[in-house]
Structure 1
Amino acid sequence: MLLVYENRNTGVSAEWKKPVHVPPHLHEAIEVVYVTDGEIELGVGQELFHMDEGDFAVVFPNVIHHYQVFGEKENKVIFLYLEPTLFPSYYRELQIYSPKNPVVKKEQVHPDVVNAIKYLTGITEGDPRMIQAYAQMILAHVFTTMPMMDKSAVGSDDLIYNAVEYVAKNFRENISLEKMAYELCVSKYVLSRMFAKTFHCNFSKYVNGVRLNYAVAALENTMDSITNICLDCGFESQRTFNRVFKERYKITPREYRKRIIM
């Protein structure tokens, strides 16, 4: 079955829709799932989890997942996508860990989680501080009530999954396509073609994208110097950092931080 990579990095986005069969896919966003009517099956890795009305689930960034729908009754689900940079204090944990069981049954779902999901689903424009507060409320309940495990134990030997996991754990280091291919026991040419076909970019651009997400979280939520942020997220020089940052955001890191402070 084709694995699809979705680019979801717009802060917060929500969909309230009738679910259908969705093939295996992954993305950088945290995906929150809340069933309002009917039932669906959520597949994570090689496991399938049943969800009924009122159940809540969360899928962490870059975890392969899919949906199946059985039966003829009406099924409606809220899908909420949260960019990891909204959670600077949890950023590294989001890259490394995944819930052992992503589903919380209706009886155990805290009312604060339901209220936060409905608030974030209903907004068109809102105070960024309120949006972040509600998003963090959801994640706080996730980390305090759901046991975690290393993403490597989710149960997939898929090359795409292993590549995503490798970058998530090592992007702050000096990594290369050759070193990554060696450690994953594949040809660097196979790995290069996988990035081009799945992520529609080369290895360097993908890694820099992960580094930029980490850098934006630091710019928005810490007072670290831009030089320290540059080095901490894995760029070899501030010149490279500034160039790559400006290519994506059309402004420099310093200008970005000034806009946040204003």
Structure 2
Amino acid sequence: MQPSYEEKKEKFSIIRKKPHHVPPHLHNAIELVYVTKGELELGVGCELYHMEQGDFAVVFPDLIHHYQVFSHGKNEVYLFYASLELSGPFMTLLQKKCPENPVISRGKLHEEVKNALGCLIKDKKVNEVVGQAYLQIILYRCRENFRFIEKDRVGSNDLIYTVMTYLLSHFQETLTLGSVAENLGVNKFALSKIFSGVFHTNFNQYLNEIRLNYASSLLENTDRRITDIYLEAGFESQRTFNRVFRQRYGRTPGEYRKSFWEQENTDIMKT
């Protein structure tokens, strides 16, 4: 079955649900999975991981995953979706690597992670600043439990997944549709159809989204010069960077950074 692609619009969201069979899919968000009742089977790539009450998993962005439920008892799971932009210093790790095993058993879950999850569940709906704070605590503590591997080592022969992992590993380089097709050994017209048919965009727009996610995180979490940021993100000129940045965010990179820090300071003062 060909996996479906989902684009998560909200920067941070929480869903409580009774789990059921969910076919293979992937999306551009970090997905946190917390089983609060019963059991759940989490599939990532070609592997299937059993989860029980109290177990926790982190599904990194752009990984094909699915869910299965075989238990007939009471099952409940909380799903937390967070934009890559909220990951701060973990951005590069999330884009290029993933856990060899994404599941942390209840007994090995750090108390700070349990507390963060409890607060999120209690609040139910949190703003982006609070969500970002909890997310980074969770990622920091969970990192100690994971052995990381390159995303292209996750078992899947699916061309969609191969394309995505290649771009996530090479987006800082000069890329064209033709060069990517050649390196992957596929026809560039077939590759073009993947972007239009699956992602509902074209190659350049999809590549720019990856680069913009990376650049916006650097704007939010560092004081590095904008010139350094756009070059590190893979943009060849500041003019192109400014144009696509304004198209997505409705403001220049400098205005974006200023607005972000002003809003964060305001939210901190309110807490």
Instruction: State the TM-score, normalized to the length of structure 2.
Output: 0.92
Runs of 4 or more, structure 1, over 4 Å off, are none
Deviation at 1:151, TM superposition (A): 1.2
Instruction: Look up the SS of the partner of 2:231 in the other structure.
Output: helix
* Structure 1 runs not aligned, ≥5 long: none
Q: Is the 8 A contact 1:177 1:192 kept in 2?
A: yes
Q: 2:125 corresponds to which residue?
A: 124
CA, structure 1 residues 215+147, in 2 after alignment: closer, same or farther (shift >3 Å)?
same
Q: Tell me the amino acid that sits aligned with residue 17 of structure 2.
A: K
Deviation at 1:259, TM superposition (A): 0.5
Deviation at 1:111, TM superposition (A): 2.1
How far apart, in 2, do the equivalents of 1:88 and 1:54 lie?
A: 27
1:181-200 aligned at under 5 Å gives the runs 181-200=181-200
How far apart, in 2, do the equivalents of 1:61 and 1:126 lie?
A: 21
How far apart, in 1, do the equivalents of 2:117 and 2:195 lie?
A: 33
Q: 1:221 corresponds to which residue?
A: 221
Q: 1:42 corresponds to which residue?
A: 42
1:11-160 aligned at under 5 Å gives the runs 11-121=11-121, 122-126=123-127, 128=129, 130-160=130-160
CA, structure 1 residues 94+9, in 2 after alignment: closer, same or farther (shift >3 Å)?
farther
CA, structure 1 residues 77+250, in 2 after alignment: closer, same or farther (shift >3 Å)?
same
Deviation at 1:123, TM superposition (A): 4.3
How far apart, in 1, do the equivalents of 2:20 and 2:106 lie?
A: 22
Q: Tell me the amino acid that sits aligned with residue 235 of structure 1.
A: F
Deviation at 1:137, TM superposition (A): 1.0
Q: Deviations over 1:36-64 (max 9, x none)?
A: 11111100100111111111111111111
* Structure 2 runs not aligned, ≥5 long: 263-271
Q: 2:248 corresponds to which residue?
A: 248
Instruction: State the TM-score, normalized to the length of structure 1.
Output: 0.95
Q: Deviations over 1:121-166 (max 9, x none)?
A: 42434471x4322111110122111111111111111111111111
The CA RMSD over aligned residues, in Å, is: 1.4
Q: Deviations over 1:170-218 (max 9, x none)?
A: 1111111101000110000010001111111001000000011011101
Q: Tell me the amino acid that sits aligned with residue 215 of structure 2.
A: A
User: How many residues get paired?
Assistant: 261
CA, structure 1 residues 127+81, in 2 after alignment: closer, same or farther (shift >3 Å)?
closer
Q: Does 1:230 align with 2:243?
A: no
How far apart, in 2, do the equivalents of 1:14 and 1:63 lie?
A: 19
Q: Is the 8 A contact 2:42 2:50 kept in 1?
A: yes
Q: 1:162 corresponds to which residue?
A: 162
Identical positions, percent: 48
